[in-house]
Structure 1
Amino acid sequence: MSKIDELLKNENVEWKKLGEIAEITGAGVDKKKVLGELPIKLLNYMDVYKNQYINSNIPTMNVTAPENKIQNCNIEFGDIFVTPSSETIDDIFRSGVATEDIFNTVYSYHIMRVRLKNKSFITSCYLNYLFQSENFREKLYKRVFGNTRKTIAKSEIEQLQIPIPSIETQEKIVKTLDKFTNHVTELQAELQAELQARSKQYEYYRDMLLSEDSLNKISEKIADFSKKEYRLKTVYLEEIAKIRNGKDWKSLGKGDIPVYGSGGKMGVYVDQYAYDKPTVLIPRKGSIENVFYVDGPFWNVDTIFYTEINDEKIIPKFFYYFIENYDISKLSIDSTRPSLTQSILNKVKMNLPPIEIQNKIVEILDKFQSLLSDTKGLLPQEIEQRQKQYEYYREKLLTFDVEGETISRQTDRQTDRQTDRQTDRQVISSDYFIILKEAADIVGIKLFEVEWKTLGSIGVFENGTGMPKSLFNESGNVGAIHYGHIYTKYNLSVKQPIVRVTKQSADNLKKVNTGDLVIAKTSENIEDVMKTVAYLGNTIAVTGGHAAIFKHNENPKYLSYVFNGANYLLRQKNKLARGVKVIELSTTDMKKIKIPLPSLPVQEYIVAILDEFDTLVNDISQGLPREIELRKKQYEYYREKLLDFKRSN
């Protein structure tokens, strides 16, 4: 029996409504300064959202409040604060615990206070972890209402059922989860430091390239090469772009056009657009430095401007890099809440090089931005892997009314997965490849000959047929590869599809055999079109509409690597894809795409090398990701296990 099992053995858990053990209060203080009211600090929404534990150093916003509000909205040791509403349901009921009495501070009207009737800091910390658990949140979500903004009412919060083990068990749970949290936080700090260092490199070169000296030097070099004369022009923003206001979106119908606010995409999609050409969005209120480059249709609300850019004078992406680099904060007309006006923005000066030079600078900065984006993509992946470990153990410790699995069963499955990964790779050693080359020479095979061939000449495409999610059935005996999962759930290959259908449903769907590729034909983003997964399972699977099947006699993983990342294929795909709101690539056009095709042994060797690189970068069983995964799994396992009590009938 594990230590966790021993800890929770025979634990008597009492279930109570949250309203029975705590007072829940809202109606906090507004983010304003009113003449005649008393100055006070404000604990706001983001202070709670970002911090598991809240101390006196965290609230920094200065506001005013009447004396009765200061008395009623105070912050005491052990108070729990929660976020009762958000634009996304996942952000509801994020919580933080006050680790001390926080004097001269009140809480915001955007959050709620949970104050235990019988005060216990350990219980507050325990509840704070419980509020994060999957089982609790599933029940919480059922009480949420609202379409564009999700909310849970105070009366619903009071009805939430809370499992209460003994105070000794609560303390052990909190100590265990705190240790895991500290480990994860330290590792996240290391990764963020690396990301910050790379970001500074990018910013250094961006600032240098956009400086007047650099622009002049680039102009001189290009002038010498092309025998043309290039000079910088000083222009006002109003000479190269028109600033337009946003409007409310609530009267519009639902669609697929994203709505932008000062924080970026709001998670709302409508059926009309305000503008559909490349533009730079500049917040009018709030986070005014948070500018966005958008090159597709969008709608913007009144907290953010869009720009109609004269692309005969300035490349939109060059304008974006200029605005991103410009110190917009100095233009604010409000010291308490950053604000911009059109008249002030119109008078912003910039050094404008000719279009040829703008193109060159955009090309360089795009490459830097790509490198930075790759870094941002990698590091959060590692952080996410740690977070998944944490969540796993948290759920084991906090799922009180669901039968938990034993450690041995979980360990068996982990061992099986590791064995599967090792079998998948089947790495060919370089010594073996040398011998293979000698054998090929003897029998007259050109091992290294590479031919460029169209996909239509090396295989056959089939279009999938409709497979709505309503067909998915956990008890089904046929694996199903849904096109939406290809670019969200799968990597380069899959043995076991994540969803299943019944044999009866499968009879009406297109069959996928071992080695076939399943390709996503459509997406809102062109990057996701032609995302591909190689099916390596031993039994027949099926796929549905918006997907294509490619049957061939090549190495399936080699083709999957090519389809998912080779620049020469991406360039051809981008030219052939069609659509604006929804991008699609037909199988007829896919047949025209050309790829380099070496012999099968070379394909196998390339796959072996790429698999090894993929393992080193992404596999959670090696390197830093392994350390992250191990710590996270420990944390999540112990968290969930410590809280995994059985509810008595």
Structure 2
Amino acid sequence: MSKLDELLRELCPDGVKYKKLVDAVSIERGKRVVRSQLSIRGKYPVYQNSLTPLGYHTDYNYNANTTFIIVAGAAGEIGFSDKAFWAADDCFTVVCPENVLNRYIYHLLLNNQNQLASKVRKASIPRLSRSAIENLVIPIPPLDVQREIVRMLDSYTESVVELQRRLTAELTARKTQYSFYREKLLDKTEMKALMVEIANLGKWSGGKTPSMAEKKYWESGTIPWVSSKDVKQPILSDTIDHITNAAVDEASMTVYPAGSVAIVTRSGILRHTFPVTYIPFETTVNQDIKILVTKEGISSRYVSYALQAYGENIRRTTKKQGGTVDSLDFQKVLAYKIPVPPIDVQDRIVNVLDNFEKICSDLNIGLPAEIEARQKQYEYYRDKLLTFAENGNTILSRAEQSRAEQSRAEQSRAEQSRAEQSRAEQSRAEQSRAEH
């Protein structure tokens, strides 16, 4: 029997009492704030219509450890501040009496967030009424029970945050290591290679946009159409938009072969990044993209890595000045030189970098999936912990507790296996580099 079950049996033999939220706590509306009151010297975050602070105030109207509810804009969002803050008039704050823990109310409101969201009035600015909040019926167990529930849920939340921190740190370290090896392997001062103008790597082409007014060019399209919003990963997996065979035939769209390399030459992202991607499937492109089909003796994968390695210097030296949209002087891009070693050396370099790319890609995919799984698990147990039967018992039967412990053990084994696999892949990559 868990400690929580023991407390419920001892303190709530006749069940847990339910109350309207307004009868259990004080619900107060925040105070209006104008932008002129915000200060860069302000110490206290100002919450208005989202969980992101509007700015900072030199004063506060609510103490630390207080729950608040957004009632306009991102209506129905629940926040908790661990330090003093300013709640604006688009927030309701929950002020608890001595027999109610604010952190307990926070978890409870999160558990009822869907119910609150269903009562949000849809308009140009979504709004949640005071009555929808006040009439929410909630369980109010004794203080010791609340403390144990908060301890359990906070502990689980902390484990999710810690997992996210560790996975993010590992991904950042891998990306840093990958960039180091890429730049080291492609360093033109150390490589025995010819310096070749980008223009001479193969055939460069541009694209265009089929008429958006012609539905037959877009509806149920299956042919990838690359635009700047797609070029965010070193290897493209798919495009957001697709066109039809009718667009290819009637709008004279060119379909480029698998294994092409695309760069963005016109987009706001060029203010800080030079987007490059390798495209492992046939595709079409729009007018903001230039695409390369490499000639014999030049690996397109090698070129994509080289353009990534020299991307910042290319962007800085070829970017056009002025203009409403950031763009590159493509003639200057074509004149830029990169090192091109013999094809067998290109292939060995690609093999090393592909290993590192796979490690980073696996982490990139696994991180959000792992966090989402943990978040869903937290929501499941939160619902269970905050759902009381009439006799006062919580949900966690022995079988469910056993499943929870088994799930944690499996997650621990999965994390250990992932770490071992990552170390093995790193070792293979370093061995491949040594052979090179």
Q: TM-score band (shorter)?
A: 0.5 to 0.7
Question: Which deviates more, 172-181 or 245-254?
Answer: 245-254
Q: 1:324 is matched with which residue: 287, 308, 311?
A: 308
Corresponding position of 2:17: 12
Shift of 1:396: 1.5
| Matched-pair contact (CA < 8 Å) for 1:619–1:625 | no
Q: 1:203 is matched with which residue: 161, 179, 183?
A: 179
SS in 2 for 1:116: strand
SS in 2 for 1:369: helix
Corresponding position of 1:261: 229
Structure 2: how far apart are the matches of 1:619 and 1:173? 24
Q: 1:272 is matched with which residue: 213, 237, 243?
A: 243
**Which residues of 2 match residues 182-201 of structure 1 at below 5 A?**
182-201=158-177
* Uncovered stretches (5+) of structure 2, i.e. residues with no partner: 245-252, 418-436
Shift of 1:184: 3.6
Q: 1:284 is matched with which residue: 267, 272, 294?
A: 267
Q: Deviations over 1:137-166 (max 9, x none)?
A: 5546756899xxx99921479736644444
| Matched-pair contact (CA < 8 Å) for 2:306–2:338 | no
Find out whether 1:115 has 2:92 as its counterpart: yes
Q: Deviations over 1:511-535 (max 9, x none)?
A: xxxxxxxxxxxxxxxxxxxxxxxxx
| Matched-pair contact (CA < 8 Å) for 2:196–2:340 | yes
| Matched-pair contact (CA < 8 Å) for 2:202–2:292 | no
Shift of 1:242: 5.7
Q: Deviations over 1:604-633 (max 9, x none)?
A: xxxxxxxxxxxxxx944748569xxxxxxx
The residue type paired with residue 81 of structure 2 is: A
Q: Deviations over 1:144-193 (max 9, x none)?
A: 899xxx99921479736644444835555334322332344334434444
Corresponding position of 1:396: 384
| Matched-pair contact (CA < 8 Å) for 1:255–1:269 | no
SS in 2 for 1:173: helix
Corresponding position of 1:159: 132
Q: Deviations over 1:435-475 (max 9, x none)?
A: xxxxxxxxxxxxxxxxxxxxxxxxxxxxxxxxxxxxxxxxx
| Matched-pair contact (CA < 8 Å) for 2:104–2:150 | yes
| Matched-pair contact (CA < 8 Å) for 2:101–2:146 | yes
SS in 1 for 2:176: helix
SS in 2 for 1:200: helix
Structure 1: how far apart are the matches of 2:46 and 2:189? 46
Structure 1 residues 242 and 205, CA, compared in 2 at 3 Å: closer, same or farther? same
| Matched-pair contact (CA < 8 Å) for 2:27–2:95 | yes
**Which residues of 2 match residues 626-645 of structure 1 at below 5 A?**
none
* Uncovered stretches (5+) of structure 1, i.e. residues with no partner: 30-35, 50-58, 64-69, 87-91, 220-230, 419-617, 627-649
Shift of 1:213: 2.6
| Matched-pair contact (CA < 8 Å) for 1:95–1:131 | yes
Shift of 1:116: 1.4
Shift of 1:194: 3.6
Corresponding position of 1:362: 350
Find out whether 1:409 has 2:399 as its counterpart: yes
Structure 2: how far apart are the matches of 1:195 and 1:397? 34
Structure 1 residues 332 and 275, CA, compared in 2 at 3 Å: closer, same or farther? same
Corresponding position of 2:326: 341
SS in 1 for 2:243: coil
Structure 1 residues 205 and 382, CA, compared in 2 at 3 Å: closer, same or farther? same
SS in 1 for 2:400: helix
Structure 2: how far apart are the matches of 1:43 and 1:237? 56
Find out whether 1:353 has 2:345 as its counterpart: no
SS in 1 for 2:268: coil
Q: Deviations over 1:50-91 (max 9, x none)?
A: xxxxxxxxx7x989xxxxxx89999975364769889xxxxx
| Matched-pair contact (CA < 8 Å) for 1:144–1:152 | no
Aligned length: 366
| Matched-pair contact (CA < 8 Å) for 1:382–1:625 | no
Shift of 1:285: 3.0
Structure 2: how far apart are the matches of 1:241 and 1:129? 57
**Which residues of 2 match residues 465-480 of structure 1 at below 5 A?**
none
| Matched-pair contact (CA < 8 Å) for 1:24–1:114 | yes
Structure 1 residues 330 and 114, CA, compared in 2 at 3 Å: closer, same or farther? farther
Structure 1 residues 155 and 141, CA, compared in 2 at 3 Å: closer, same or farther? closer
Find out whether 1:311 has 2:294 as its counterpart: yes
Structure 1 residues 310 and 187, CA, compared in 2 at 3 Å: closer, same or farther? closer
Shift of 1:312: 3.4
Structure 1 residues 619 and 152, CA, compared in 2 at 3 Å: closer, same or farther? farther
Corresponding position of 1:493: none
Structure 2: how far apart are the matches of 1:94 and 1:142? 12
**Which residues of 2 match residues 529-568 of structure 1 at below 5 A?**
none
| Matched-pair contact (CA < 8 Å) for 1:79–1:98 | yes
SS in 2 for 1:97: strand
Aligned CA-pair RMSD: 6.1
| Matched-pair contact (CA < 8 Å) for 2:60–2:84 | no
Q: Deviations over 1:527-567 (max 9, x none)?
A: xxxxxxxxxxxxxxxxxxxxxxxxxxxxxxxxxxxxxxxxx
The residue type paired with residue 183 of structure 2 is: D
| Matched-pair contact (CA < 8 Å) for 1:23–1:117 | no
Corresponding position of 1:212: 188
SS in 1 for 2:83: coil
The residue type paired with residue 400 of structure 2 is: Q
SS in 2 for 1:212: coil
Structure 2: how far apart are the matches of 1:124 and 1:297? 57
| Matched-pair contact (CA < 8 Å) for 1:82–1:113 | yes
Shift of 1:201: 2.6
Structure 1: how far apart are the matches of 2:386 and 2:274? 38
Structure 1: how far apart are the matches of 2:47 and 2:169? 26
Corresponding position of 1:181: 157
Shift of 1:12: 1.6
Corresponding position of 2:433: none
Structure 1 residues 38 and 144, CA, compared in 2 at 3 Å: closer, same or farther? closer
The residue type paired with residue 312 of structure 2 is: D
| Matched-pair contact (CA < 8 Å) for 2:62–2:85 | yes
Q: Deviations over 1:379-436 (max 9, x none)?
A: 6666566545433322212446999644223246679x89xxxxxxxxxxxxxxxxxx
State the percentage of identical aligned residues.
Answer: 21
Structure 1: how far apart are the matches of 2:239 and 2:304? 24
Greater fraction strand: 1
